[in-house]
Structure formats: C-alpha cells, structure tokens
Structure 1
C-alpha cells in the first residue's frame, strides 16, 4: 500500500542557491512534474557543505502558500487592488521619477 501523499511522476534534482539566506547557501531542489517538492543542502557547495538553514525550508513553503501574492497590486483610495502587469509597470514608470525628485521614492 502506498502513502496517500505520494507524488507520482519523473523527478529531477537541480543545484541552485537559497536566496532567502544572507550567505546564499548551496541547495539541491527536488522537482517532480515541474513543481519544487524538497530542498536540501548541497554537500558539494563549499560554504555550507550540505547543511541548510530553516530559511531554505521556509522558502519552499512560501512558494506554495495560499496567501502568496499572485500578481501586482496598486493602492487605490487606500486599498490594494489587483491590476494587470501592464498597468503596474506603467504606474511605476510614471510615478517613480516624480516621487524620487521629492526626495522619497515611497
């Protein structure tokens, strides 16, 4: 009998860096059917030699968290509203230089 949370499919391991850590730890990421499923320290990476911090594990959880932002938001009348990428980039391009000239980018 197989475990009910078993993920079937072809798995691949990719060597990469954890960008959640200040030291950019070397990690191996197990990807099954195009989705990252496991992160573990890369034993061949010189700075962490196979060890990893809790931040690496948390990064994988954040990737699939249901409350993660799925697109750009724009503050309209004090509330954040979802907008298209075109609107977000146009707003950034038009508003950022004006705010920067006033001495504050925010």
Structure 2
C-alpha cells in the first residue's frame, strides 16, 4: 500500500481554494505586473535605476578647486605620472612603481630594476593602494575618544612640553609601529635629545621577533632565513605560507 501525504486538511478535503493554490506558483497578484506596465518596461526601469546608481557611486567628492598660479609643466590632467618608491613589509622592502593621477596613487606594480621584485608584485602589494582611500582610516586627532583639531593638539603638546621641560620627559611615552623612514627616525632622534627620559615603544600585531630570537638562541648570532625554493624538490609547510604571508613571498613565488 502506497502512503498518501497532504499538506493541509484543506488539501485532504480537496477544497477548491486549496487546489487553486497548488496550481499557482505564486500567490494571487504576485505573478502579474500592474495593468499598463509590460515586462520590457519594467526591465528598462530597473536597468536605468542601476545605471544611475552606478554613475553616482563613481563621482569624485565635491571639493573646492583652487587653480595653480603657475601650472607645473609635468602635471597634465588625465595623463598619469609614475614614480619609484619602496614599501616596507616586516623585515623586507619591496621596490615598486606607482601610477598616479593628479597626485592620487591608483595602481602599483613591481619595479623591474629592484632586486626584491624584478617587476613582479603580490596580492598584498596590489591591495595596499586601497588603504589610502579606506573610509575607516583615521582622519582626525582624538583625545580620550573625542575628535580634536590640530590647534587643540598644538595647545595640548605645548602644555606637556612646558610641564616636562625640567624632568627630561619623565612619564612621557610614544607608541608607534615599527618604521624604517629616515624622516621619522630623525624626528624621533630629535625628540629623544630634547627629552632624554622619554620612552619610545614600537608595536606590531604580526612580528618576527620570536622567530629571530629562536635563530639567535640556536646559532648565537643575529641571523635570518633565506629560503632557496628553486633548489627544493618537495616543500612541506607547517603553519607557514611562503607564497602569501612570508615577507619574501614575491621572491618565493618567482622560484
């Protein structure tokens, strides 16, 4: 005997309204467009709405534009400019070529003349330009979570400077990420010279200190690993990704 199933008591009793509901894919009125509007018209309206929304999202922000008193010869609107730069990443540095439009970097590629990249790049390098336009990037100075202006910072720093002029900066501390910038190093050196007791600490969420400490403990010297992937027949990576997260990922990917 084949079992019989039903969805409701109305279906079991074979009521007319239950049969009509089963024969229709959608409820009454949901599968028909209002009278006077065809499917083609509806698709045209939807397409136009999406196009207008896309154009609005591609506009530049409204800004006050001040013309050059003397226009620089090397800047032509619509013509990209290229410059060489270096991007530090943990213990490595990548030589890059940056394409910019009216002073705004838009594309990054490896520098063919730099030994660390030889014209290649990685997904991390390509995505780094997006950080310049990140809406969550810090845009204001904050004091205890409240936004402040540069004039507020100058006033507050002037008060701190006077208060610690006699004690050499005792109790003052600066927290920054690790850096290799000569300009920032010069500023830090000048600040330490003025406040000898000032503490300057650097912090990185992802650091190589533990690995370097292990190498120092094993060899007695400050050394670093230089993998020769091109000479390996089989590579076993445990909790490591030499092609994505390693500082030498571009060189490793090249082989």
Q: TM-score, normalised by structure 1?
A: 0.69
Q: How does 1:49-88 map to 2 (within 5 A)?
A: 49-75=118-144, 80-88=145-153
Q: How does 1:3-18 map to 2 (within 5 A)?
A: 9-18=78-87
Moved over 4 A (4+): 103-106
Q: Secondary structure at the match of 1:9?
A: coil
| CA distance in structure 2 between the partners assigned to 1:29 and 1:9 by the alignment | 16
| CA distance in structure 1 between the partners assigned to 2:113 and 2:83 by the alignment | 13
More helix per residue: 1 or 2? 2
Structure ranking higher on relative contact order (CA contacts 8 Å, 6+ apart): 1
Which consecutive residues of structure 2, in runs of 5 or more, have no partner in the other structure?
A: 1-54, 59-76, 174-197, 202-255
More strand per residue: 1 or 2? 1
Contact 1:26 1:42 in 2 (8 A): yes
Change in 2 beyond 3 A, CA 1:98/1:54: farther
Which consecutive residues of structure 1, in runs of 5 or more, have no partner in the other structure?
A: none
**Residue 58 (structure 1) shift:** 3.0
Look up the match of 2:94.
Answer: 25
Q: TM-score, normalised by structure 2?
A: 0.32
Look up the match of 1:39.
Answer: 108
| CA distance in structure 2 between the partners assigned to 1:91 and 1:17 by the alignment | 34
